[in-house]
Amino acid sequence: MKLSLLSGRSHPGLGAAIGERLGVEPSQCRLETFPDEELYFRSMEPLLGHDVFVVQPTSPPAPPHLLELMLMADGCRRAGAARITAVVPYFGYARQDRRVASGEAVGARLVADLLATRFDRIITLDLHKPSIEGFFAIPVEHLSSVALLAEPLKEFLSDGHVLVAPDLGAVKRVQYFADLLDAPVAYVHKERFGGDKVRVRHISGQVQGRLPVLIDDMISTGGTIVSALEALLKQGCRTPATVVASHALLVNDAAAKLTAQPIGEVIATNSIRRPDTGRLAFRSVDVSGLLSDAVKKIHTGT
């Protein structure tokens, strides 16, 4: 079965990097947004009997990126692809994984159901919660970037550092880093009220006099990191702080908000296209190798 790699418009650079590692040119296709904002996809190459991989993180703006991904799968299926795998290194809507208030939708489940209508399999990276994997009726390769993100930390981590979970959802993630790096940990108990308003209730662990390394799955508006860092400083943490995240969405004025904080560096993967980081000290960790290895393993059945 021939391997074909297609890339949507959310992160063509990552699609090209994966293709280069696999020794495969991304297939030619037409992707357009019509004047009325309808999206259009057409594969310009034959796909009959091919093993197709479609690279498209559903990063902001999630709705068109998600719909484009679905259109690509539909086009590939109608062109006779034998198997279609979605490569979605950032899975949008993941935070809508349960109902907090009655009447709410569970967006993560809905998106998982939608993907399963056209795709045979999904490769994804650092889901907001590992349990989201259970929402899918198709096989999921859930990859982790912990080992890759831990590498740059090894360059400077000392006895004076503490790894911090900026909310309770990040505790397990921070424990994985702590196991790899043999470093102490602390946890911030956060309360969210609204899309970008968060408040810190309490900090567990020794932080006074230490340099914090805040670790989260994603930075969206930056509110979680900023409020956790402010609370850590009040508890006597030293600066500069370091921030580590799998997915740097940096929406709205997040980059400026973080630049205004005593942060030495923000380290994140290239799971999504690099946002406008302005003057923020930002280091990108490449996950194209991790993703291309997963593609290779699925393609060869190893």
Question: What residues have CB less than 8 Å from 234, skipping those under 6 apart?
Answer: none
Of residues 10, 59, 221, 235, which one binds ligand R5P by CB under 6 A?
A: 221
> In angstroms, rounded to a whole number, what is the distance separating the alpha carbons of residues 173 and 267?
15
Stretch that binds ligand R5P, among 100-108, 143-151, 166-174, 285-293 (CB under 6 A): 166-174
CB-nearer residue toward ligand R5P: 55 or 165: 165
CB of 225 to ligand R5P, least distance (A): 6
- Annotated active-site residue 190? The verdict is yes
Stretch of residues binding ligand R5P (CB under 6 A), selected from 66-74, 117-125, 220-228, 261-269? 220-228
Residue closer to ligand R5P (CB basis): 57 or 223? 223
Span of 8-16, 63-71, 102-110, 219-227 interacting with ligand R5P by CB under 6 A: 219-227
Which of 217, 235, 247, 263 lies at the binding interface for ligand R5P (CB under 6 A)? 217
**Measured distance CA(106)–CA(140) in Å, rounded:** 19
> What does 131-162 look like in DSSP terms, one character per residue?
GGGGG-SS-EEEE--HHHHHHHHHTT--TTEE
Can residue 196 be called a binding residue for ligand R5P (CB under 6 A)?
yes
Q: Which of 4, 223, 267, 271 binds ligand R5P (CB under 6 A)?
A: 223
Report the residue from 51, 162, 216, 294 that binds ligand R5P according to the rule CB under 6 A.
216
- Tokens 């309808």 sit on residue: 38
Asked whether the bond before 152 is cis by omega within 30 degrees of 0, the reply is no
Whole-number Cα distances in Å, 43 to 8, 62, 81, 82, 125: 11, 22, 11, 15, 26
CB of 255 to ligand R5P, least distance (A): 11
Number of residues that bind ligand R5P (CB under 6 A): 15
Cα separation values, 251 from 47, 254, 257, Å: 36, 6, 11
Residue 146 vs residues 192, 242, 268: alpha-carbon distances, Å: 25, 15, 11
Query: Residues in the site for ligand R5P, rule: CB under 6 A?
Result: 95, 167, 169-170, 196, 198, 216-224
Catalytic positions, written as ranges: 190
